[in-house]
Structure 1
Amino acid sequence: MNKFDRQVDRNLKDIEYEKCGEISKAIDLYEKNIAENFEGNHPYDRLVVIYRSQNNKIIKF
């Protein structure tokens, strides 16, 4: 499995974590994809939504 496929798998797992309310696990995986320079906007967009919903004043990008 190549890097992009692993990242897509993480994004799919993140969606499931969010649905189950396991937000901290989702954040960890979204941040891992960002650290690996994911080509796309999904993890970035989702983290913004999560941080805003938590009233997080500092977004860690």
Structure 2
Amino acid sequence: MNHCYRHLSAKNRGGIIMMRATHSIQAISTHLGRAPTTVSREIARHTVDLLKDYKPT
């Protein structure tokens, strides 16, 4: 199996920010052309626990 890992771009992260409040992870991943697990891991890594607010920085 040959996998090529690509980091999320700033544009991808911006898409997550814009869509997170109103769209499912599946819908976001389809829109970005990325795997749902990639999107969910990105959200989990950058979510402030108390507020459940996605902060990509």
The answer, yes or no, to whether TM exceeds 0.5 is no
Report which of the two has the higher share of helix.
1
TM-score computed with the length of structure 1 as normaliser: 0.31
Between the two structures, name the one with larger relative contact order (CA 8 Å, sep ≥ 6).
1
Report which of the two has the higher share of strand.
2
